Structure 1
Amino acid sequence: MTTTTSNDKQWPTIFDIETCTRKGECPVAKIRGQSEALEKHTIYFEQHGSGPEKVVFIMGLNSSSFAWHRQVKYFSRTGKHSVLVFDNRGVGNSSAPKGPYTTSGMAEDTLTLLNHIGWTEDIHIVGVSMGGMVAQELATRIPDQIASLSLVVTKAGGLSLANLTPWKGLWGLTRATFTKDPFKRVPIVLRMIFPDSWLDAPNADDPNKRTNRQLQTEHYIRRIEFTRPQTLAGSLSQISAALTHKVTKDRHRLIATSIPKILILTGDKDDLVNPANSKELAKRMPEAEYIQWKDTAHCLHEQWPEKFNELLERVFEEGRTKYEERKSSTVA
């Protein structure tokens, strides 16, 4: 049964309502460590599946939680997982408080949401792009509660040259941000996050042999139809969060020594986050498993969903095993 948390209000969704166990809005009234008053805002979330493994997916820049549709469909039906997805502040069905935003503030949003639904231990965190930046900030706050951490096409931030967005991605991001017509924005976004060769190839699973470009266009438009239009202020505030993100080496050491299983995953043709950033993360956290996929761009969870989901399932199992071993040794 689907339940809500705010006056029985219903929200349209692209996810399967049969797997949904809870959805609603989580109120966020304040952020820890900030003395000034913060504009009250709400975070929209959905919970799918009822398995014992708790998985949190954190989406990237200016994308709603609907971008996790292939992961929610897969993991909510395994019988082993409970999946939490949500819209970051400034996008989707979440509210857009006054910006600019920071990844640390968005991590506090996530922590507030986790406490709101009662997930306080044994959690698997998956963050992609800016969501991976938020995940790093979250991991420094609750490292002992996390069984596995998957950092996908993301970065540590700071002043290194690798931190700069490649020119093709920067140009695409600028055009997409200031293109109001969503139908004109779609082709710009697709070229920014997928290889052209992959977009032009026929989809192997489509009976009508449509191209990946055609299928991704249809899906992207469907996502737009089911969520509120993003404001320019929300978009720019999220961009500010990604640009100002920085996690220091000592905090990465805390993450690496506290979390049992860490995955760092990237592609080799990423035009938004330079793959060198993932190598830097792996250098800072040599305990992590580092993987780079060939012929793969920024949106790898959509480009290779089956391979991505299978990899995550292995990471969750390894994280669970190590997490329980660590708990047992602590009790002993």
Structure 2
Amino acid sequence: MPTVRLKELDFRYVRIGSGPALLFLNGSGVTLDDARPLIERLVEDFEVAAFDQRGIGLTSMPREPYAMAELASDALAVTDHLGWQRFRLLGVSFGGMVAQELAVTAPRRVERLALLCTSSGGAGGSSFPLHASADPGEGQRHGSPTPLDELPVPRAQAANRTKPGPGEVPPQLMPFRRPEQTTGAAWQLRARAGHDVFDRLPRVTCPTLVASGAQDVIAPAARGAAIAEQIPDTVFRVFEGGHLFFLQDPTALPAVTRFLADR
């Protein structure tokens, strides 16, 4: 995968497929390698661009912690490099937070927007406080990766997750943090803790799909509903499954891609 020097950092990115331009923003600690199976599904309908966020994967570490606005600026810098003046935007979990920041900062750049399993912060509520409950190095110290959907949460909440079955998440699609990503993951969680775009969401001007998992305990469906109420042209959907409902409910990802492909 190529790299490009932007904003004094080297970003690893991928540009693949044909069709409408789609920028894909993934979740906390998730690299291009982790997301490859999902990206391969998206390229069936789009020209997809995605990248390792600062301090994650093979993108270089910044010198200091950052806020969500800086991540949105990174995403815009990547699209500028690609020559994309307008594009569709898909944000998942933490990537959905970045996508919201991008969409309110540069609304004319985004043609269609899909926000999955995410939250707005502020009055719209926040996702589960992983920054307060999860040690980014835990798992690495024990020699095993830590899937984001399995980070420590109260046992009672964890019991509400959809039980494994025919729609369970394939193991190769479960995101995790590698040892060398510990600091980068910690700084992502710090930016996540300060995420608050709720009052600015009415600035989003494009058609938007907000989708949540009925059993999601990290970004409950109520968080998605709050986002949908703030954006003028929005469809809100709830699918079966937990935080990774789009890989658990077989109807979810096709619904998302149909929405994004619509003209």
TM tier relative to shorter chain: 0.7 to 0.9
Identify the match of residue 293 of structure 1 among 233, 239, 242. Answer: 239
Residue aligning to 1:315: 259
- The answer on 1:185 being equivalent to 2:123 is no
Residue aligning to 1:56: 23
Shift of 1:197: 4.9
Q: Aligned equivalents of 2:127 and 2:261: distance in 1? A: 34
Shift of 1:74: 2.1
The alignment's TM-score, normalised by the length of structure 1, stands at 0.69
Shift of 1:220: 4.7
Question: Highest CA radius of gyration, 1 or 2?
Answer: 1
Shift of 1:118: 0.9
Shift of 1:178: 2.6
Aligned-residue Cα RMSD (Å) equals 2.8
Change over 3 Å in CA distance of 1:101–1:303 after alignment to 2:
farther
Q: Aligned equivalents of 2:69 and 2:104: distance in 1? A: 10
Q: Aligned equivalents of 2:55 and 2:80: distance in 1? A: 21
Residue aligning to 2:184: 234
1:27 partner amino acid = R
Q: How many correspondences in the alignment?
A: 257
Q: Map 1:1-332; keep pairs closer than 5 Å.
A: 23-29=1-7, 40-49=8-17, 51-76=18-43, 78=44, 80-121=45-86, 123-158=87-122, 162-163=125-126, 165=128, 174-175=134-135, 177-181=137-141, 183-186=143-146, 189-192=148-151, 197-199=162-164, 201=165, 203=166, 212=168, 215-216=170-171, 220=174, 229-249=179-199, 251-255=200-204, 258-259=205-206, 261-294=207-240, 296-304=241-249, 306-318=250-262, 320=263
Change over 3 Å in CA distance of 1:151–1:190 after alignment to 2:
closer
Shift of 1:189: 4.2
The sequence identity of aligned pairs, in percent, is 22
3-state SS of 1:184 partner: coil
The alignment's TM-score, normalised by the length of structure 2, stands at 0.85
Change over 3 Å in CA distance of 1:135–1:182 after alignment to 2:
farther
Residues 267-320 of structure 1 show CA distances to partners (whole Å, capped at 9, x for unaligned) of: 1222222332111111212520001113x111223323x4233112221233x2
Residues 54-112 of structure 1 show CA distances to partners (whole Å, capped at 9, x for unaligned) of: 11110111111334333322232x3x421111111121111111332211100101111
Higher relative contact order (CA 8 A, sep 6+): 2
Unaligned runs of 5+ in 1: 1-22, 30-39, 205-211, 321-332
Q: Which has the higher helix share?
A: 1
Q: Aligned equivalents of 2:63 and 2:139: distance in 1? A: 22
Residues 132-162 of structure 1 show CA distances to partners (whole Å, capped at 9, x for unaligned) of: 11111111232122211001111111266x3
* Contact in 1 for aligned 2:92/2:118 (Cα 8 Å): yes
Regions of 4+ moved over 4 Å: 192-197, 218-221
Shift of 1:24: 1.2
Shift of 1:175: 4.7
